[in-house]
Amino acid sequence: MISVALFNNKGGVGKTTLTYHLAHMLQRLGHRVLAVDLDPQSNLTAAFLDEDELATLWQENHQVDWPLLDGQQKLLLRVNGASGTVASAVAPIMRGLGDVRFADPVVITDGLSLVPGDLNLSAFEDKLSAAWPNSLIGDHAALRTTTAFYRLIRDAGTRTGADIALLDVGPNLGAINRAALLAADTVLMPLAADLFSLRGLRNLGPALREWRRIWQSNVLQHVPPDIPAPRGTMTPLGYVVMQPKMRLDRPVKAYQRWLERVPTVFANSVLERTTSDGTYEIATLRNYQSLMPLAHDARKPMFDLRSADGALGSTQTLVQRCYQDFESLSRKLLARLDEVGVER
């Protein structure tokens, strides 16, 4: 299984939307996909699961009067009280009472599963911060903490038979994201066409290189055979420009200057190269904001919207274009994985 972390140090660029739709499209293309929500905000989990399922998953209620759906009682949920989140998986480590507690991921549909997130995961930040320096000296408890996400993803991939894992990671350079990114084989970077995303890239590149250097040079040599550990490759796959404002199929002038600077900033900050040939731009996705409310209400990807969901007239044309764009993006992502020589 190959893992891809979707990450940028700048929030609000459509990272979770991209992860959600890539997961669905890669499944359509015949892959077994594992989506992993490592962002404590848990927006990816909320995109996949409805409120009743979230309440059950997070154990906010144990006795629920389910609403009638088309005259039938809701008898089967994709989750139950025994389902686990990332936070519940690492809870024994947080409490100092044990190791990762593995559980079956939530099956969304055949070939697509989810390791759900939880706001309680934010409490793991301090534990990971404290474990990092002790990992450098080979402390086994610290190494189990630092590798917890990797081992959770590895186990979930085995349980589901996944060949691709998509990791949704929050927009910061804290301890949770360091552990999440170290667990990833590759990194895909969603960007907006603005100054803030460029600043995020300038911070992200050096951070990834420093984490990779420390992990591979100072930590891996101390990991015992009984603790599965990531290689810490975090190979940059490239970037996706998300939702630029469009006019006549071209970015408006105010954004054009930032779009033109992205390849050079990516090359300099992420790849440590002086020039860029543009090959790391995987796609530029148009603004589908008009489809988002319909997709949210229908609880399905934007490219699956039908007339019954309110996608009428010209909106249905946009739905078809959305499908084509995400199919093209998914195929380019798969090709990029082959180009960088990562096994999958």
pLDDT digits (tens, 9 = 90+) for 261-308: 888 899 999 998 877 777 899 998 888 878 989 998 999 999 999 999
CA distance 166 to 114: 10
Q: Based on the fold, state whether residues 298 and 226 are members of the same structural domain.
A: no
In a domain, 69, yes or no: no
| Domain of residue 312, residue span | 291-338
Q: How many domains does the chain have?
A: 2
**Is pLDDT at 69 greater than 60 in this prediction?**
no
Residues 48 and 127 reside in one and the same domain? yes
Of 219, 239, 259, the domain-final residue: 239
Domain-embedded: residue 122: yes
Domain shared by 305 and 219, yes or no:
no
Res. 252 pLDDT band, cuts 50 70 90: low
> Is residue 261 domain-resident?
no
Provide the residue type at 335 as one letter: A
Residue 316, domain member (yes or no): yes
Distance CA 238, CA 4 (A): 11
317 domain residue, yes or no: yes
The pLDDT, as a whole number, for residue 76 is: 44
110 and 185 belong to one structural domain: yes
Classify 258 as helix, strand or coil: helix
At which of 195, 218, 239 does a domain end?
239
Last residue of a domain, one of 239, 257, 280: 239
Q: Give percent above pLDDT 90 in the chain.
A: 64
Tell me phi and psi for residue 296, to 5 degrees: -65, -45
The answer to the question of residue 315 being in a domain is yes
pTM of the model: 0.91
